[in-house]
């Protein structure tokens, strides 16, 4: 039960971070584009001495310009830093992290089992080290009192993504190792899955357009 909540949380978190980042940058682009257009209109009105239009355009410009989005890029970066750390943990669960498996695929069973277990333990070890040095780092940054330049957010909160994400990832590696040792199952993500190809293929084969 608790585990299912964790799974769900992980999925929702990274999807939402992705969606928010896209929306934010899209809005920032539209914002800049409309500012440019309003300013051009002011310039046009000024050069054609249309005072009415000029002041109207000026107030439109001022209205759009009162929304400040200089922080959008920085926010986008931090959203993606969080997405990357937690997404990497989710990636362990679904087996998206690829390695070079040509040797392992050629091994016979006891050896194969041992090498695969070593590979997974490597993941546990690495992420555990990250939890340790990440926590230490966050602690130091917190003492230093640094803030981000645009949002002026405390940096330690942003950097918390590393120890937290790594802890989750470490847990996922342990889970994967346990699953492998008990059932022999390894999650494997299909990098080339495409929705809707079967239907289209069937239709084309039956003589549809294509």
Partner 1 sequence: QDAITIKFSHVVAPDTPKGKGAQKFKELAEQYTEGKVKVEIYPNSQLYKDKEELEALQLGAVQMLAPSLAKFGPLGVQQFELFDLPMLFANREELRKITDGDVGKGLLAKLEDKGIKGLAYWDNGFKIMSANSPVITPDDFLGLKMRIQSSKILEAQMEALGAVPQVMAFSEVYQALQTGVVDGTENPPSNMYTQKMHEVQKHATISRHGYLGYAVIVNKAFWDGLPEDVRANLEKAMAESTVYANGIAAEENDKSLEAMKAAGTTEFHEMTDEERAEWLEVLKPVHEEMSDRIGADLIQQAYQAIGTN
Partner 2 sequence: MTALIIFLILTVLLLTGMPVSIALGLTVFSFLFAFTEIPMDSIALKLFTGIEKFEIMAIPFFILAGNFLTHGGVARRMIRFATSMVGHWYGGMGMAAVMACALFAAISGSSPATVMAVGSILIPAMVKQGYPPQFGVGSIATAGGLGILIPPSIVMVMYSVATSGMVVTGPDGQPVLSASIGTLFMAGVVPGLMLASMLGATTYFRAKKHNYPRMARADWRERWLAFRESVWGLMLIVIIMGGIYGGIFTPTEAAAVSAVYAFVIAVWVYKDIKLREVPKVLLSSAAMSAMLLYIITNAVMFAFILTSEQIPQTLSDWIVGLGLGKIGFLLVVNIMLLFIGMVMEPSAIVLIMAPILYPVAVKLGVDPVHFGIMMVVNMEIGLCTPPVGLNLYVGSAISKLGLTEVTKAALPWLATALVFLMLITYVPEITMFLPHLLGMN
Q: Which residues bind partner 1 (CB under 8 A)?
A: 32, 35-36, 38-40, 42-43, 61, 65, 70-71, 73-74, 140-141, 144-150, 152, 155
Q: The tokens of 73 are what?
A: 């890029």
Kindly tell me which residue out of 101, 111, 139, 178 binds partner 2, with binding defined by CB under 8 A. Answer: 101
**Cβ atoms of residues 170 and 127 within 8 Å:** yes
Q: How far is CA 47 from CA 37, 50, 55, 108, 118, in A?
A: 15, 8, 13, 81, 73
Q: Compute the distance between CA of residue 76 and CA of residue 74 in angstroms, rounded to an integer.
A: 5
Kindly tell me which residue out of 41, 45, 57, 83 binds partner 2, with binding defined by CB under 8 A. Answer: 83
Kindly tell me which residue out of 50, 56, 64, 104 binds partner 2, with binding defined by CB under 8 A. Answer: 104
Residues 6+ apart with CB under 8 A from 192: none
Residue 38 contact among partner 2, partner 1, none, beta carbon within 5 to 8 Å by kind? partner 1
Position 67 contacts partner 2 (CB under 8 A): no
Nearest approach in angstroms of CB 90 to partner 1 is: 27
Position 143 contacts partner 2 (CB under 8 A): no
**Cβ atoms of residues 153 and 147 within 8 Å:** yes
Position 49 contacts partner 2 (CB under 8 A): no
């Amino acid at each position: 039960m608790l585990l299912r909540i964790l799974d769900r949380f992980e999925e929702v978190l990274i999807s939402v971070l992705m969606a928010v980042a896209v929306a934010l940058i899209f809005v920032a682009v539209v914002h800049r584009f409309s500012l440019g257009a309003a300013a051009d209109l002011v310039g046009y009105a000024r050069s054609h001495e249309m005072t009415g239009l000029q002041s109207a355009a000026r107030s439109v410009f001022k209205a759009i310009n009162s929304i400040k989005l200089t922080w959008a890029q920085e926010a986008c970066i931090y959203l993606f830093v969080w997405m990357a750390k937690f997404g990497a943990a989710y990636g362990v669960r679904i087996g998206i992290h690829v390695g070079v498996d040509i040797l392992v695929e050629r091994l016979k069973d006891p050896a194969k089992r041992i090498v695969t277990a070593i590979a997974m333990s490597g993941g546990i070890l690495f992420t555990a080290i990250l939890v340790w040095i990440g926590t230490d780092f966050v602690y130091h940054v917190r003492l230093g009192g640094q803030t981000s330049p645009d949002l002026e957010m405390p940096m330690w909160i942003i950097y918390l993504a590393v120890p937290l994400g790594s802890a989750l990832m470490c847990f996922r590696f342990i889970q994967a190792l346990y699953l492998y040792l008990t059932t022999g199952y390894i999650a494997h993500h299909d990098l080339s899955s495409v929705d809707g190809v079967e239907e289209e293929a069937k239709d084309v084969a039956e003589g549809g357009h294509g």
